[in-house]
Structure 1
C-alpha cells in the first residue's frame, strides 16, 4: 500500500466515524425530546389536578360549583366572582392545552380526557351564561371548540348530585 491509499482509507474511516457520531447524537436528541415532552405532560397533569383540588379541598366551593353550573344568574356577586375566577383559570389552562394539541406539542390521547371533562362542564346552563360574556378572553380556536361542545353536549355528569 502506498501513502495515498493509506490516506484514503484513513479519510474513509474518519468519515464513517463522523456519520456514526451524527447518528448517535440524533438518537440522543430524540430521546431527550421525548423525555422533555413526558416531563411537560406530567407538569400539565399536575396543574390540572391542582385546579380541580379546590373542589375537593373546599366543600363550600364544591357546593358553589354545582349551584353555579345550574344557574349562574342566581348567585350573589361574591359567588359569581369566585366561580368566575376559578372557571377563568380552568379555561385559560385548557386553552393552553388545546393550543398544545394544535401545534403538536401535547399528545392528543392526553387531550381527549381533558376535552371530555370540558364537554361535561360546558353543557350546563350556568357555564353557558358565564361563557357568553367572557369567551372573548380566549383564543379563537378554543372558543370554536367550546361552542361546538355547547351545541352538542347534554348536562348529565352532575345529575345524581343533590344540589344544596
Structure 2
C-alpha cells in the first residue's frame, strides 16, 4: 500500500467522520426542537390555565367575565376597562401561540378553537376593532385575527376591522 492509497483511505475516513458528525448534529437539533416545543406547550398551557383560573376562581372576576360576554351593554366604564385588560392579556397569549406556530403548527391547532369561539362574539370583535392598534400593524398575528373577524362578521377585511 503506497502513500497515495493511505491518503485516499484517510480522506474517506475523514469524509465519513464529517457525515456522521452532521447526522449526529441533525439528530441533536431535532431532539432540541422537540424539547423546546414540549416545554413551550407546557408553559403556554400553564399560562392559559392560570389566566382562566384567575377568572373562574374569583367570584367578582367571573361575574365581570360572564357579564362582559353575555350582556356587554350593561357594563360600567370601569368594568369595560377591566374587561379590556383581560382581553389584552388573552390576545397577548394568543399572539405568543401564533408566533410559536411558526415552529410547530400544533400550537395554533390547539388554540384555534378557543380563539375562534372568542372571535365569534360580537363584543370581542368590537374589542379587537377598537384595540388592534396594540399589536403591530405589520404582524402576521394581527392580519390573522383581522381575517378571522372578517370571516365572523361577513364583511371584507378592511371593513371588519374598522373601529366601531
Aligned to 2:114: 117
5+ residue gaps, structure 1: 153-164
* CA distances 1:25-61 after superposition (whole Å, capped 9, x unpaired): 2221221122212212221222121221111221211
Residue 159 (structure 1) aligns with: none
Count, aligned residues: 149
The alignment yields a C-alpha RMSD, in angstroms, of: 2.2
8 Å contact from structure 2 (residues 120, 149) kept in 1: no
* TM-score, normalisation: structure 1: 0.77
Once residues 106 and 148 of structure 2 are traced to their aligned partners in structure 1, the CA distance between those partners, rounded to angstroms, is 18
Q: Return the offset for 1:111.
A: 1.8
- 1:75 Cα offset (Å): 1.0
> 1:106-145 counterparts in 2 under 5 A?
107-138=104-135, 139=139, 140-145=142-147
Runs of 4+ in 1 over 6 A off after TM superposition: none
Q: Larger relative contact order (C-alpha < 8 A, sep ≥ 6)?
A: 1
Identify unmatched segments of 5+ residues in structure 2: 155-164
